[in-house]
Amino acid sequence: MKPKTKVIHAGIFGDKYTGSVTVPIYQTSTYKQEAVGKTKGYDYSRTANPTRHALEVLINELEFGKGGFAFGSGMAAISSVLMLLNSGDHIVITDDVYGGTFRVIDKVFKRLGLSASFVDTSDLAKTEAAITDQTRAIYLETPTNPLLKITDIQKTAELAHKHGLLLIVDNTFATPYWQHPLQLGADIVLHSATKYIGGHSDVVAGLVAVNSEELAERVGFIQNSVGAVPGPQDAWLLIRGVKTLALRMEQIESNARKIASFLDAHPKVERVYYPGLKNHPGHELAARQADGFGGMISFDVGSSEAADRLLARTKYFTLAESLGAVESLISVPAKMTHASIPKPRRDKLGITDGLIRISVGIEDGDDLVADLKQAIED
Ligand SMILES: *Cc1c(COP(=O)(O)O)cnc(C)c1O
C-alpha cells in the first residue's frame, strides 16, 4: 500500500455493527458484561475504548509497529514512555528538545531519580561519550525544534543497541507520513498528535508506537495504570485528521520549499534553518532518512525589535504557539515555546531573541511568500 492509500485504508475501516464508513465515537465509560468477566473485549474505557482502539491500530500501522497507544497529550505520551525507566537510571537526550520535554525531565523526573544528559545528538560521537553505566535509553527529536537539526536515526539505533539501550524518537515534526523511525531501528516512536496528525488546531493528544510485543505490554500497562488517555471525541478527530495527512503534508512541503528559498535569498534575513535547503548541515541525511523535509522553518532576523516588527505585519501567519496545522503560524521561540529554557542555555543553543519560527500551512504558497516579503521589507 502506498502512503497516500495507507492514510485512508490503514487501521479499522468503519463500523461492523452499522456499516458506517467512519469509526463511530463510542462515548461510553463502561460496558455490559454477559457474565462476570465475559466481555466483548471492552470493560472500562481507561483500559480500552473502541474509538481509541481504532486510532491505536491506525498509528501502529502508520509507524510499522507492534503496538500503538493513544494519550491525552504529547506530554502525557512522553511522560508515560519515560515511566518505563527506574529511579537511578540515566538517559541521553537531544539538547534542543521541545521545551516541555526538557521541563518534565528537569523538574519532575529528576526529582524522581532519573538523570539526563542533554547533548547534540546530531553528533554521534557526543551521544556515545554521554553514555554511562546507568544509561538505559537514548531519546531523540529529529528534526529538532526550533533549529531543525537532524540526527541519524539508524546510526543512533545501532549505537543504542550496542550498549543495550532503548532508542526513543519524537517524530512529531517529520510525521508518520514522511519518516518511520521504527523501520530505521528505533524501539519507540512518539508524537504530539496535537500537531500534524490532528492538523487543524482543534485537539490535544499524543500517540506512541513500539517495535516489540514486550514493549507493547509494558507501555500498555503504564497507559492503563497511569490513565493519561484521550477521550473518544479526540480519538475520532485524530482518525479524521489522518485521512488528509498526505494531502496536507504535500501542500505544506511545497509551500515550505518556496518560503525557505525566498528567506534564504533575502538580505534582511541573517540565517535560515530548513533541512530542505542544500546549505543545511543535515540536508543529505534528512533526504536519506525521510521522504520529506516538513513544514517547519526557523530564521533569524537579528534582533528582538526586528522580530517584533515582522510579527506585527504578517497577515496570513497567526501569532500562536503550536504548529502543524492547516493555517500558517508564527512564533518567537525564545519568548514563547522555549521560554521555560533559561536564557543562557537558549543563547548557547542558538535560540536567539531574533529567531522566528514558522509552521507553514496549506494556503497558497505564493500568498505566503508575498506576505512575508511585505512584512520583512515594510
Ligand atoms: C508540542 C510538542 C510536544 C508536546 O505535545 P503536547 O501535545 O503539547 O503535549 C512534544 N514534542 C514536540 C516535538 C512538540 O512539538
195 has catalytic annotation:
yes
Length of the chain: 378
- Do residues 20 and 110 share a domain? yes
Q: How far is the CA of 157 from the centre of ligand 1 (A)?
A: 22
Which residues does residue 160 pair with via DSSP β-bridges, in sequence order? none
Range of the domain at 283: 245-376
- Do residues 324 and 253 share a domain? yes
- Nearest residue to 321 via CA among 297, 306, 338: 338
Q: Which of 213, 242, 271 is the last residue of a domain?
A: 242
Measure CA of the first residue to CA of the last residue in the chain; give whole Å: 48
* Strand runs labelled E in the chain: 67-71, 90-94, 115-119, 135-141, 166-170, 188-192, 206-210, 271-273, 296-300, 318-319, 329-331, 355-359
Catalytic residue among 98, 177, 196, 274: 98
Residue pLDDT, tens place only, 345-356: 888 878 999 999
- Do residues 216 and 127 share a domain? yes
Helix axes 304-313, 365-377, angle to 10 degrees: 130
Q: How far is the CA of 337 from the centre of ligand 1 (A)?
A: 10
97 CA closest ligand 1 atom index? 13
Which pLDDT value is given to residue 99? 85
Q: Tell me the C-alpha distance between 319 and 31, whole Å.
A: 44
- Do residues 123 and 19 share a domain? yes
CATH number at residue 114: 3.40.640.10
Q: Which of 210, 242, 274 is the last residue of a domain?
A: 242
- Nearest residue to 270 via CA among 159, 352, 155: 352
- Do residues 346 and 211 share a domain? no
- Do residues 131 and 119 share a domain? yes
Number of domain units in the chain: 2
Q: Tell me the C-alpha distance between 355 and 264, whole Å.
A: 14
4 has catalytic annotation:
no
Q: Is 359 a pocket residue for ligand 1 (Cβ < 6 Å)?
A: no
Q: Is 98 a pocket residue for ligand 1 (Cβ < 6 Å)?
A: yes
Nearest 5°: the CA angle 154, 325, 149 is 30
- Do residues 86 and 227 share a domain? yes
- Do residues 120 and 262 share a domain? no
- Do residues 216 and 260 share a domain? no
- Do residues 208 and 98 share a domain? yes
Q: Which of 216, 242, 268 is the last residue of a domain?
A: 242
CA distances to 38, 82, 103, 108, 298 from 113, in Å: 41, 12, 15, 9, 35
Q: Is 139 a pocket residue for ligand 1 (Cβ < 6 Å)?
A: no
Specify the pairing of strand 135-141 against strand 90-94.
parallel
46 has catalytic annotation:
yes
Q: How far is the CA of 53 from the centre of ligand 1 (A)?
A: 22
- Do residues 233 and 263 share a domain? no
273 has catalytic annotation:
no
CATH number at residue 264: 3.90.1150.10
SS3 annotation, 198-255? CCCCCCCCEEEEECCHHHHHHHHHHHHHHCCCCCHHHHHHHHHHHHCHHHHHHHHHHH
Q: How far is the CA of 238 from the centre of ligand 1 (A)?
A: 15
* Strand runs labelled E in 248-343: 271-273, 296-300, 318-319, 329-331
Q: Tell me the C-alpha distance between 323 and 38, whole Å.
A: 44
- Do residues 257 and 372 share a domain? yes
Q: Is 135 a pocket residue for ligand 1 (Cβ < 6 Å)?
A: no
User: Each residue's pLDDT tens digit in the chain (378 positions)?
Assistant: 999 999 999 999 899 899 999 999 999 999 999 999 899 999 999 999 999 999 999 999 999 999 999 999 999 999 999 999 999 999 999 998 888 999 999 999 999 999 999 999 999 999 999 999 999 999 999 999 889 999 999 999 999 999 999 999 999 999 999 999 999 999 999 999 999 999 999 999 999 999 999 999 999 999 999 999 999 999 999 999 999 999 999 999 999 999 999 999 999 999 999 999 999 999 999 999 999 999 999 999 999 999 999 999 999 999 998 899 999 999 999 998 888 778 898 888 789 999 999 999 999 999 999 999 999 998
